[in-house]
Amino acid sequence: MPAATAEPQPFEFPPGYVMPLPTRPSKMDEDTLHPVRVPTPLPDLLPRSMKDIQKMRNLQSDGDTAKKYVPPRRDLPPPYKDRTKRMGHTYQLNGPSVEGDVTPVFENGLLFKVVTPDGSWYYYNDTDKYEMHVKFTFGAKSDLQPGEKVDMYVMSTSELSASLVVFPGETTKLVAGKINGFKCSAKAVPLNDDKRDILYGEVNDRIADDLMVMAQAIGVREDDLTEEKVLAYCEENEKPYIDCDFRPCDYSLYRADVDTYLPRFIPWHRPSTWIPEEQLKEVRLFRRDILPSQVTHGSIGDTYLVSAIAALTDASGDRLHDLFRHPVSAANGKIERALGAYWVTINFNGWWLPVLLDDFLPATRDGPEFARCAVDIRRMWVALLEKTYAKVHGSYANIASGDPLEPLSEFTGFPVTRYESFWEDAQGGDDMLFQEMLSYNRMGHLQVLCTPSDGGEAFGNANVVSANPELEATYEKMGLLLHHGYAVLQTEYFEDLDLRLLRVRNPWGNGSEWTGAWSKDDKRWSKYPSVRNACYRHGGSPTDADRTFWVEWSDALKIFSGGGCCHLRTPWFDYRARGEFAQGIPTVSFEVNVSAPTEAYITLSQEDERDDPSLEYHALLLSVFRHSGKKEKLDATSNSLVEKPDRQLKFNFSRDVAMKYTFLPEHSPYFVIPRIHDPSVTKPYVMGLLCDTYVGNGIKVEFKRVDRNCRVFANMPSFVQVGMMEDTAAEYQIRTPRQPIECIGEEIVDERLREFGILEE
C-alpha cells in the first residue's frame, strides 16, 4: 500500500518580498511546449481583406487588455408603442374624461371603470368599433342615483337593476350614492351600420371635403379629377395625396349594386391615427427582413389573399420589392411616399398594371382592419398590397373570398397548376402528383397546399361562423387554420424506405404543433439519420423553432384538400400582347423563330369574372404548331399540367391557360395560336410570353392574324401556311423592373438590347 502523501501547505512570503521578473528561457527550454494565451477571433471575422486584417490586429490588441469584441452600432428604430399611458393605463383613444381610480373591466382593456373621488361610478369605452353593454344588480339596501343614460328599476327581490350602453370614446356615468353589494356583467357588441354611419360618417365626410377643395384648386369638376392631376397638385403644394379613383369611402368597401358580401362599414384613416406622433417618422413600406409570420389577416374574409402574400415572402429573388418599385425612379418614389402616395404593379387580366394608391386604409385606432403586419403596424406593405388588390377588383367586398393561386399569379405574372383535379387520384395511391411536386421543388417553383373550408362559406371568408366547429378544433390542435394556404418549402423521396416527405411553412404557428409522424420530437429522426441528413442538408435540425414542420405525403393528403404551384422563375423576361376573339377567331397570334433552344411559358388570359357578375369564363386553349416539311403540324396544347403540354384539344373553363414549351431552331417557324371553344363569342384576351432571354436575343416574335378558313379552327392537326397568315400590328407590353413599356408594332422590339449592341436599326 503506497504511503499517504501530505497535503501541500500554503507558502507565505516574507514581508517586503518582491517577486523577480521572469528570465528568458535557455536554448534548451525553447524546445519545450508552453501554454500560450492567444485571443481568438469570432468565426465570422476570419480575414478576407485588408480591412478584415486590421480588425484582427485590433482584436489582438483588445485581447491583451481584456477588451471584448462588440459588433458595430447600427441605427435602429425605437420599439413600437401602441399609445401613451395615462393614469397608469394604456389607452387606444383619449382616455376617460373624468379623474379617479381606474380599473380595466377586461384583461385586454377595451372598457374601464372609473370611481371618482365623490364615489360616483363611470365607464369609459376605449374602442372605436364596439358599444359596451354594462349590466348591474345592486343590493336591496343600496341608495343610488343613476346617470342620465342609465335604465334602472326595482326588481321583485327589492334589488336594483341598472343597465348602460357606452358608445366608442365615451365616458358615461353609471351611478352615485351608497352601494350595498352588487353583481355585474359586461360585453362588447359590434356597432350596427346605423351607429357606424353616425360615428364614422364625419371622418369620411372630411376626406370627401378635402377632395372637393382639391378639385376647386385645380380648376376642374370633382368628377373630372384624375390621379395625375391630383398627384401633381399635391406635389406642388406639399399636400397629402388622396386617391380620386379608389376613394376612401363606403363605396370602396362595398358596392351595393355589384357586391354580394357585405362587410362592416368602418372609417378610413391614415397611419397617423393608429401610430403615435413621435413614431410617425418610422413608418416604412418595408423594414429589414420580410417574413411570412409578419402577415396577418383581418376581419374580412381575406385569408386566401393573406396566404398568397405569406407564401410570396418565401419566393426566390426580390419579388415583393419588385411589386412596389416606383415606375420612374427611386428618387421619385421617396418624394411621393412622403405625401402618402405609393405605386404597386400587378398583373391584371394578363396585363401589367401600375396602380397608384394613397395611404388611407379601412382602420380604427387599433390599426388597419384588414390584412396588416401585426408585429409592427408601422410596416405598410401588407395592408397596401391588399388595398391594391381591392382597387383593381373594385372593392374590398369583392375580394372577400377566393383561391390563393389567383393572387399569386397576379403578383408574379407566372402561370399556375392546380392540384385539385389530381388530389383524389393521389389519395387512391397514384404517385403522379407527388412526382410532379418533386420536380417543381427542384426547379424552385412556389407551391401551396390548402386546408379545407368548413362548409360555411366560400374559401377564405373568415367572418362566417364555423359550420363545422369540430373540424375547426381538429385543425387547431395541429396548429393549422381552415381555409388557409401553406407554402411547401421542400419535398423529399427516399426510395429505399418508400418514404415521401414534405416540409411545410406555418407562418401562424411555430411548427411544433404538428405531433404526427416526423414531428419535431419524433424518434424517427434519430432512427433514420440518412433521412435527417437529406432533409437538413443545408443546415438546421428537426427541433428548430423555425415555423416549419415535416409531414408524410399520406398524411398531407388527409390534412389538405388541394393546392397548386406557381411556376415562378428568376430571372425571366416577360412580354404581353393584346388581342380579341372576333366571333371565335383570334386577331393576334405569335410567329416564333429561334437560333438556339429557348424555354418559355406561354399564357392566355381572359377577363376575371370576379369583376363583372355578367361575365362567364369561356373555354380556352393554347396550341403550338411547328414547321414540318411543307406543313405546320400541331406539336403541343395546354392542359392541366403547365410543365407537360400534350396534343389533345382540351379546352379549359378558367381565367388563364398556359404551357411551358421549348422552341428549337430546326423546327422554326412556330405558330402560337390562341383558341376559344365558342365560335360565336367576341371578347378580348391577352397572350403572354415569359422566356429565358430577351426577345431579340436569338428569338424573334412577330404578330400574325390567322385566316378564319384555316384548318386550325376545324380542329385539324396541321395546316399549310400559304395564304393563312397575315402580318398584323398589336399592342404589346414589356415588363421592366419599373414601368411596364407599352408599344404598338408588328413584332416585339425590346429597346433594352441597344445597350448590348444587339438591336437592329
Secondary element (H or E) of residue 212: helix 193-218
- pLDDT digit string, tens, across residues 341-351: 999 999 999 99
**For the chain, which domains are there?**
85-190 (2.60.40.1180), 195-412 (no CATH), 426-566 (3.90.70.10), 573-756 (2.60.120.380)
For the chain, first and last CA: distance in Å?
A: 105
How many whole angstroms separate alpha carbon 245 and alpha carbon 598? 41
pLDDT at position 467 is: 55
694, amino acid identity? Y
Tell me how far the alpha carbon of residue 264 is from its chain's centroid.
Answer: 23
Strand locations in 179-275, DSSP E? Answer: 182-190, 268-269
> Which position among 125, 347, 398, 506 bears the catalytic label?
506
484 catalytic? Reply is yes
pLDDT at position 129 is: 79
- pLDDT digit string, tens, across residues 47-104: 556 666 666 666 555 555 555 556 665 555 555 444 444 446 778 777 898 999 999 9
Beta bridge partners of 624: 636, 672
How many whole angstroms separate alpha carbon 367 and alpha carbon 127? 12
Phi then psi for 475, rounded to 5 degrees? Answer: -70, -35
How many whole angstroms separate alpha carbon 412 and alpha carbon 345? 10
- pLDDT digit string, tens, across residues 469-480: 888 888 888 888
pLDDT at position 29 is: 43
- pLDDT digit string, tens, across residues 288-343: 778 888 888 887 878 899 999 999 988 776 888 899 999 999 999 999 999 999 99
Q: Provide the grid cell at 472.
A: 375547426
The model's pTM is 0.80
Phi then psi for 640, rounded to 5 degrees? Answer: -70, -20
- pLDDT digit string, tens, across residues 445-470: 999 999 998 654 433 344 444 557 88
**Inter-residue contact 279 to 378 (CB < 8 Å):** yes
* Lookup result for grid cell 397629402: 240
> Which position among 445, 483, 484, 618 bears the catalytic label?
484
- Rama region for 238: left / alpha / beta (φ>0; ψ in -120 to 50; rest): left
Among 514, 448, 454, 513, which Cα is nearest to 486's? Answer: 448
506 catalytic? Reply is yes
